[in-house]
Structure 1
């Protein structure tokens, strides 16, 4: 059964980053590959999606992050809502935001396995809208 991973909005993340105490309690994991160098959230670490394919790699990352209270994963894209005006069906959400949620779910799954008996586990979140929406919210 797939683990549920909660989401955080770009606006919520901006507020966290404005507060030094709150900022110190989170790690932002940018799972993009080459586009990380073109711009990223200050303080984010770059762990490309390919590092989440192998359990041993993910387990090592879990061990590295096990004392971090909150870990926020993101990729580049935000979701697009497509709905023709003439259509009576519910809107269809097409989402390019795949890498961030995939990596967050893989990490959460391995946290549950590796830290099964731990009293405290990191909270895992996905940034809704990815870096694209975060950058837009930050500039407003």
Structure 2
């Protein structure tokens, strides 16, 4: 049985900017109304509110991806829950999973603290949204 793993922001940064590791990577942002003030570059927004309904389509789209990283604002509830749901669904469809499924430690809150102003890593960043929240 596969398990959800944790990835820290520095490792994810390295995966995104291409430090030698040949992986196919998709980042899934499951924030709902709090999906404001920026997002990880190239991430896909799949809000928690509709995640379960869209899970079969998402899984179909990601079958060829080797690493899937989930996150929400803090990655304490929604991100881990979505990652677990995705992994359970994948195991239900296929007995052997050829993907690594991760949750971003600290979520977007910690990500934006470290990399919010780095345009290689964060898109549509609005620092004013995050002042006083982190």
Scaled to the shorter chain, the TM-score interval is 0.7 to 0.9
Which residue number corresponds to residue 5 of structure 1? 4
Is 2:124 aligned against 1:127? no
Alignment RMSD: 2.5
Residue 60 of structure 1: CA displacement? Answer: 2.2
Look up the SS of the partner of 2:65 in the other structure.
Answer: coil
Structure 1: segments with no counterpart, 5+ residues: 79-96
Which residue number corresponds to residue 61 of structure 1? 58
Question: Does the Cα contact within 8 Å between 2:4 and 2:84 map onto a contact in 1?
Answer: yes
Residue 27 of structure 1: CA displacement? Answer: 0.3
Which residue number corresponds to residue 14 of structure 2? 15
TM-score by length of 2: 0.75
1:7–1:66 CA distance, 2 compared to 1 (3 A): same
Structure 2: segments with no counterpart, 5+ residues: 118-134
TM-score by length of 1: 0.72
Distance 2:80 2:18 in 1: 25
Which runs of structure 1 show a deviation greater than 3 angstroms over 4 or more consecutive aligned residues? 20-24
Look up the SS of the partner of 2:35 in the other structure.
Answer: helix
Is 2:79 aligned against 1:100? yes
- Tell me how many residue pairs correspond in the alignment: 117
Look up the SS of the partner of 1:72 in the other structure.
Answer: strand
Residue 64 of structure 1: CA displacement? Answer: 1.2
1:3–1:123 CA distance, 2 compared to 1 (3 A): closer
Question: Does the Cα contact within 8 Å between 1:52 and 1:106 map onto a contact in 2?
Answer: no
Question: Does the Cα contact within 8 Å between 2:23 and 2:67 map onto a contact in 1?
Answer: no
